[in-house]
Structure 1
């Protein structure tokens, strides 16, 4: 049966309607996006060049930074340019492409955070077997598994969406293309599709968060047997990861584990995890990690001496 698809272009309402507020947002969010790309790019470069950062923890961190740059770039450049546009348009194909990459990279990041928690668990709870368990081969398998998991999740989301008929209206109440706002402009009842999205996105976020929570409870219980110095060292490496997890999962679970709404708060929560969190991650990891800071200073020192 042929789909009745009259809509080829969608109009995004954006974050705020006031042109002056939009200009202020442009001035605020452009530096944030540039800081995201530069900060995460610097982490990738530092880990790639520094011989001291060759442990699995930094291997995962560099991949997390690659995902952060890609994830942010799926939404933010269009969002920033739209802040200066009177009418914010996107083709239906462009909308589906944005949904695919947004969910692909978002779930890849979730799975990477789970892998990083596993790495911390092995390092703290099984230190004598750490190098044997966390071999380079296993690290590559875990990273590849994260990418594959994200791809599989995203393909399911797009297959659900691409079958919907869009015959008008074509105004999407959001600043980027996401599933629930797009479902509202489909020419059919999307209750089943909404439940599928909730099951797919919400449960991945919730289950991963529970796994992370359990792994850190196990780590904290295990740390009781360590010396005060050992506890302090272990907690400092875990603190960055826990902070990133809370910043990423809090808003995601809030949006995907409840019925959809048209509240402006939803868009503001989405701004937090699409624009702000990817910028905060490199700051959190570098400020709390002595090894990364030392490696960055060495890298910077080499570059400066090379320029003299």
Structure 2
């Protein structure tokens, strides 16, 4: 790589997992199926929460703040995967996958923003569970519509705050040839090696943003669940079981995210890092609708009602 003469890069070549050869078609089928389930499952949650139960039943079941946050999380998951998976799928079918210079940074911004916003929404949902379990009598007065909207705006602002610095710095740099990104999409660390010159500042800003956002959300979620456990300890057996059931789905999703994210940040083997980051980008959006629908009786009942309603109209 020539680090002295910057070139005007108009596009980038995404190398992805091209070294897998014939196994690419197997991955294409797997990820296409996963993407279909992600879109279908999350669309179903959004549809059920927003449209199917506008009657008094909606207010009793899917009208609670928890479902308000859940359908926002489903929207984030859909955008998060749509930014990367279709591009990756087309890469499995072609030997040469290119992306324009502006398109590359737009993809990078959306990917990081959605990932960080999704983590912030999980934090908001942890606070929602804390209020519901620790202050059940004040739940409806605390989690009012203005408060819910403020929490949603805060989650999106949090995502933008930890995304813009690194992306802004990346767009201001010159990039040298070869313009080959050794990833399935415009990953910041993979793109940074193509910069003409020293990237220590960008590395520090990017790493600091990732670690601080993970630690901030992780600490807030931990505090919420410590308070929840303290409240559950004072309850009777029946109340404990009910309180625990409302938290299982959220806890399952929350524990998956940081383990994968930390592994992606730390691991040095490029091929392993790419595979793990690809799985991470698919795993949580894939599991979210399945976990919440399987662990939540109200959502399961709503799915059954919607299904039978469709059958009756046929």
Give the TM-score range, shorter chain: over 0.9
Preserved contact between residue 165 and residue 187 of structure 1 (Cα < 8 Å): yes
Tell me whether 1:252 sits opposite 2:261 in the alignment.
yes
Which is worse superposed, 41-50 or 261-270?
261-270
Q: Unaligned stretches of 5+ in structure 2?
A: none
Aligned to 1:138: 147
Which stretches of structure 1, 4 residues or more, deviate above 3 A after TM superposition? none
Q: Which digits, 9 at most, give the CA deviation of each residue in 1:142-183, with x for residues without a partner?
A: 111111222232222211111111021211111111111111
For 2:167 and 2:21, locate their aligned partners in 1 and report how far apart those are by CA, in whole Å.
Answer: 33
Preserved contact between residue 126 and residue 224 of structure 2 (Cα < 8 Å): yes
For 1:129 and 1:98, locate their aligned partners in 2 and report how far apart those are by CA, in whole Å.
Answer: 42
Q: Which digits, 9 at most, give the CA deviation of each residue in 1:107-146, with x for residues without a partner?
A: 1111110000000000011111111111111001111111
Preserved contact between residue 131 and residue 139 of structure 2 (Cα < 8 Å): yes
Q: Per-residue deviation at 1:189?
A: 1.3
Preserved contact between residue 173 and residue 262 of structure 1 (Cα < 8 Å): no
Preserved contact between residue 75 and residue 102 of structure 1 (Cα < 8 Å): yes
Aligned to 1:295: 302
For 1:82 and 1:231, locate their aligned partners in 2 and report how far apart those are by CA, in whole Å.
Answer: 49
Which is worse superposed, 164-173 or 188-197?
164-173
For 1:118 and 1:158, locate their aligned partners in 2 and report how far apart those are by CA, in whole Å.
Answer: 30
1:172-183 pair list within 5 angstroms? 172-183=181-192
Other structure's SS at 1:17 match: helix
Which is worse superposed, 86-95 or 113-122?
86-95
For 1:158 and 1:285, locate their aligned partners in 2 and report how far apart those are by CA, in whole Å.
Answer: 33
Preserved contact between residue 114 and residue 212 of structure 1 (Cα < 8 Å): yes
Aligned to 1:8: 10
Q: Per-residue deviation at 1:294?
A: 0.5
Aligned to 2:312: 305
Tell me whether 1:87 sits opposite 2:87 in the alignment.
no
1:22 corresponds, among 15, 24, 30, to: 24
Q: Unaligned stretches of 5+ in structure 1?
A: none
1:198 corresponds, among 203, 207, 230, to: 207
Preserved contact between residue 165 and residue 205 of structure 2 (Cα < 8 Å): no
Root mean square deviation of aligned Cα: 1.5
Preserved contact between residue 206 and residue 253 of structure 1 (Cα < 8 Å): no
For 1:67 and 1:243, locate their aligned partners in 2 and report how far apart those are by CA, in whole Å.
Answer: 18
For 2:253 and 2:141, locate their aligned partners in 1 and report how far apart those are by CA, in whole Å.
Answer: 27
1:197-236 pair list within 5 angstroms? 197-236=206-245
Aligned residues: 303
Q: Per-residue deviation at 1:16?
A: 4.3
Other structure's SS at 1:83 match: helix
1:121 corresponds, among 116, 127, 130, to: 130
Preserved contact between residue 100 and residue 157 of structure 1 (Cα < 8 Å): no
For 1:66 and 1:293, locate their aligned partners in 2 and report how far apart those are by CA, in whole Å.
Answer: 19
For 1:22 and 1:233, locate their aligned partners in 2 and report how far apart those are by CA, in whole Å.
Answer: 45
Aligned to 1:164: 173
Q: Which digits, 9 at most, give the CA deviation of each residue in 1:210-239, with x for residues without a partner?
A: 221221122112100111111111111111
1:24-39 pair list within 5 angstroms? 24-39=26-41
